[in-house]
């Protein structure tokens, strides 16, 4: 039997978690966890992220129009949970988690040293969608730990963190070819 | 060392694959594979899918403004590959794959009988993003095979299909709690 679900979006999980860095006008950085992120165009390279309208990251990206996407491995699951459940308006989440902000190459928001992959993005458009705003950004550069990639795809050693919902996470099995 | 990558979006994979059904004005259905899909709002429930501008599904959704999202298990990987690599302008992909179109509850596009979860969506907005169009849809109803859900999240038995890139796919390991 097929059952109607209350939480429709769990049906579209598990999905790779990202840590989003942004800055305020004084270049003070903030970090937050997001799994509602997807590539949207290959050429030019673009991504979209959907963020709660009232959140601090939403406010910062609207103002300073840049962000970085940082891919954590499963080792960082506790840090990810804190980044996703506390507000940067109230606490410095870098201090709280021990995540280390280091300079990006092309944008003002930092990247996170402990992460295994990074995308540096410039906002090109935004659209309201219910209680969230979809930010669409061009990817200016993307890089990752070479030993964790096989033909540019994450290999098993990467242990990319996938969010199932709530406090539940998982990682991918070995890949197979169709 | 961190290496600059050519295929930026692989860094945001693996992600759950969906089969998107749409119809033309005569209600003839088409199916296509998509992994650039994400929830974008919880209340109201909304999703976005990013589709190549020149593709047939893109043309159909622009015209008839409805679509269904069907979640396959890993057992359907061959059918998914065909749905994602052939154009519905040239072939009937239901015939070609053996995927069975059955009526949805609230929209004209069908759902796929062999899939384990379904979202029925009505287009509310669309935005260009490079070579693609992001379609934003309200989820009118969402349902799934009850025995494959635990607290509404896919359990291990579901074997959700995750796309790594190219012909490479994977499935999730058992979940853990942070």
CA A87 and chain centroid, separation: 15
Any domain includes A9: no
Q: Tell me A105's DSSP state.
A: S
When pLDDT is averaged across residues B98-114 and rounded to a whole number, the result is: 97
Q: In chain B, which residue's Cα lies nearest the Cα of A174? A: B170
Any domain includes A153: no
Any domain includes B177: no
Counting Cα atoms < 13 Å in the Cβ hemisphere of B132 gives 24
Residue B113, min C-alpha distance to chain A (Å): 11
More confident residue, B133 or A8: B133
CA A170 and chain centroid, separation: 16
Residue A60, both tokens:
């910062």
- Alpha carbons B50 and B52: distance in angstroms, whole number: 7
Name the percent of chain B lying above pLDDT 90.
89
Any domain includes B81: yes
Q: Whole-number mean pLDDT of chain B?
A: 94
pLDDT of residue A94: 98
pLDDT in tens, A103-114: 999 999 999 999
pTM: 0.96
pLDDT in tens, A7-65: 777 777 778 999 999 999 999 999 999 999 999 999 999 999 999 999 999 999 999 99
Residue B35, both tokens:
């992994």
**Residue B83, helix vs strand vs coil:** helix
Give how far Cα A149 sits from Cα of A120, A131, A167, Å: 19, 36, 27
Q: Which residues of A touch B40 (CB under 8 A)?
A: 36, 50, 129-130, 132, 134
- B24: containing domain: 8-170
CATH number, domain of A32, equals 2.30.110.10
Residue B28, min C-alpha distance to chain A (Å): 25
Any domain includes A161: no
B138 forms beta bridges with B46, B122
Q: Which residues of A touch B46 (CB under 8 A)?
A: 129-130
- Alpha carbons B113 and A16: distance in angstroms, whole number: 27
Any domain includes A159: no
Sign of CA pseudo-dihedral B161, B98, A177, A69:
negative
Whether residue B46 and residue A130 make contact (CB cut-off 8 A), yes or no, is yes
What is the ipTM for the molecules in this complex? 0.95
The total of structural domains in chain B comes to 1
When pLDDT is averaged across residues A70-87 and rounded to a whole number, the result is: 97
Whether residue A40 and residue B132 make contact (CB cut-off 8 A), yes or no, is yes
Residue B157, min C-alpha distance to chain A (Å): 14
């Amino acid at each position: 039997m097929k059952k109607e679900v209350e939480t429709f979006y769990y049906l579209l999980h598990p999905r790779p978690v990202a840590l989003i860095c942004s800055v305020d006008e004084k270049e003070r950085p903030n970090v937050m966890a997001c799994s509602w992120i997807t590539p949207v165009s290959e050429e030019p390279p673009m991504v979209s992220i959907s963020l709660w309208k009232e959140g601090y990251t939403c406010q910062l990206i609207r103002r300073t129009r840049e962000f970085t996407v940082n891919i954590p491995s499963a080792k960082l699951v506790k840090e990810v949970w804190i980044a996703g459940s506390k507000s940067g308006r109230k606490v410095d989440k870098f201090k709280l988690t021990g995540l280390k902000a280091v300079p990006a190459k092309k944008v003002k928001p930092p990247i996170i040293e402990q992460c295994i992959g990074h995308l540096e993005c410039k906002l090109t458009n935004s659209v309201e969608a219910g209680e969230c705003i979809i930010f669409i950004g061009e990817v200016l550069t993307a890089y990752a730990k070479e030993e964790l990639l096989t033909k540019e795809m994450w290999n098993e050693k990467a242990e990319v963190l996938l969010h199932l919902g709530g406090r539940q996470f998982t990682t991918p099995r070995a890949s197979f070819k169709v």
